[in-house]
A and B are shown apart, each in its own frame.
Chain A
């Protein structure tokens, strides 16, 4: 999904792990950008913060947030890559509160750079490790970050850049795109062992099924080895298995 010779603006956690894997395998010339100013690093290990010195290790530039965010707004970011606590069928994301805003059950960190990345990137990829009825919701408790808002044309109507918006959603069950006409979530591919039922049982909203649903390829053993031994040996993001 992350192509060589393209730029990707990565958020913290799983997106960094995925971008590192891409850089170590099929996309050695992937241009990775971080909001705090790191551009084009050859990531030596997993950065804990998107602001630390690893984010420009052997990089081409260590600059400012103003610089990176301005480049993004001006159209230089091909892919935005974010995690999410909650998402609805239009790819709108919540990372601000669980429960009511005035009396939150859980106060989450807020947008950080997520809203900016989703506003500015040409194609947004959302990655969620735990698809469930708690995370695939009818209505997000707080619309922190824009997906397609209420559907086709809504982003443009509120003034967001034309041609931008969510492109793919990746979960532990499958890979999704967005329906061309409605901009609602559409299943494109099932991971090994998963079924349409497991997809449906782990979502509050109806998921459109693409005409042809593919089977996600089994990741090569070599990729898993790179993930476990090189990228995240302390199992900070990947968790214990």
Chain B
């Protein structure tokens, strides 16, 4: 295949497909065994300094916040993160100086709430480096190629743009149509953490609502941590196997964390905690504010339950449930007046 041009972005997390297969056969077990452990143990065991990490869900939706906070508590450093529309998770991981490299599809923003003061400041002063640009479909298809065990996926996106010029993609002449086509390289994150609605002790996980990129991400990541709203009996999974999005043999850890996506949304369960997000966005305008936030909500808390109490406890959580089901009006406390 004739290569016409190449993006100058850094190629991260790519492996030769045979090397990837070999890693799987050596490191992933097909044995049906319990993988239940604590947040602390999961992060200690599977996330290491210098790793390339990816978080499941999308933006502020279905995010494994318990793992994100634990990464900060364990002071992991030099992490590279997939900015596959990563917003609040990425913002606080960059703000806490755990992540210092990002491959960006969409990052440094809080969607309609505005830009992220903390991670933007870190990029603008050079303390966080953007290693490559891509698009949402581009990232998605990096994961798809990894999941399929092939070196790249051809696509018609990004052609003609600077996004392509600063990506790790190549442009080739398609041997079938003769037209130019983008070759999107496979990605194999060292570890991914995905929050789900329910999961058994072995790792069979069911997600309600949109799966976003999690079918592909769960399968291409080398290590996979599942946090779940509840651990259910395997019999319940076996009653409705068509609801299973993630099978046990790709999972390395299962952690039960009710409300584990807070302050982000959990579809069909609870809505965003806009007051909490507003507090972070306001505090993160200064470095001192960032430190204050982490001291209050991450470093000095004993566990996720303690954190939820600090955020307003049962009263707040019940409100977020009602809000999810449209029984409370919209609020926008982060809005600039």
Contacts and interface: CB of A to CB of B under 8 A. Distances in A.
Contact of A49 (B112, B123, B137, B162): B112
A70 to B, nearest CB: 9
Contact of A235 (B85, B107, B181, B335): B335
**Contact-residue size bin, chain A (C-beta under 8 Å from the other chain):** 35 or more
Interface in B123-175: 123-124, 130, 133-138, 140-141, 144, 155-163, 166, 171
Nearest to B144: A66
A66 B136 contact: no
3 closest A-B pairs by CB: A159-B180, A37-B210, A51-B58
Contact of A107 (B123, B160, B212): B123
Given A64-B211, A64-B212, A159-B159, A45 B123 contact: no
A120 interface: yes
A69 B140 contact: yes
Given A36-B85, A66-B140, 19 more contacts: A45-B330, A50-B111, A53-B268, A62-B210, A63-B211, A65-B58, A73-B156, A92-B161, A96-B162, A106-B120, A108-B109, A113-B137, A116-B158, A145-B161, A155-B160, A158-B159, A158-B160, A159-B181, A236-B335
A137 to B, nearest CB: 14
A7 B24 CA distance: 41
16 contacts: A13-B112, A37-B211, A49-B61, A62-B210, A63-B211, A66-B141, A66-B144, A111-B134, A111-B138, A112-B85, A113-B136, A116-B158, A119-B157, A143-B160, A159-B156, A161-B156
A163 interface: no
Contacts of B144: 66
Contacts of A48: 60, 111-113, 272
Given A66-B213, A109-B115, A142 B162 contact: yes
A101 interface: yes
B25 interface: no
Interface of A: 12-13, 35-38, 44-46, 48-53, 55-56, 62-66, 69, 73, 92, 96, 101, 104-116, 119-120, 142-146, 149, 154-155, 158-161, 233-237, 240
B160 A149 contact: yes
Contacts of B254: none
B161 A115 contact: yes
Interface of B: 57-61, 83, 85, 104-109, 111-113, 115, 120, 123-124, 130, 133-138, 140-141, 144, 155-163, 166, 171, 179-182, 209-216, 265, 267-268, 272, 324, 326, 329-332, 335, 337
Contacts of A12: 111-112
Main secondary structure on chain A at its contact with chain B?
loop
B131 to A, nearest CB: 13
Contacts of A55: 210
Contacts of B159: 119, 146, 158-160
B210 A109 contact: no
Contacts of A36: 58-59, 61, 85, 210, 212
Nearest to B216: A66
Contact of B137 (A69, A96, A107, A155): A69
Given A107-B108, A159-B181, A161-B156, A236 B332 contact: yes
Q: Which of B108, B141, B156 has the most CB of A within 10 A?
A: B156
Nearest to B179: A159
Given A12-B111, A49-B61, A110 B161 contact: no
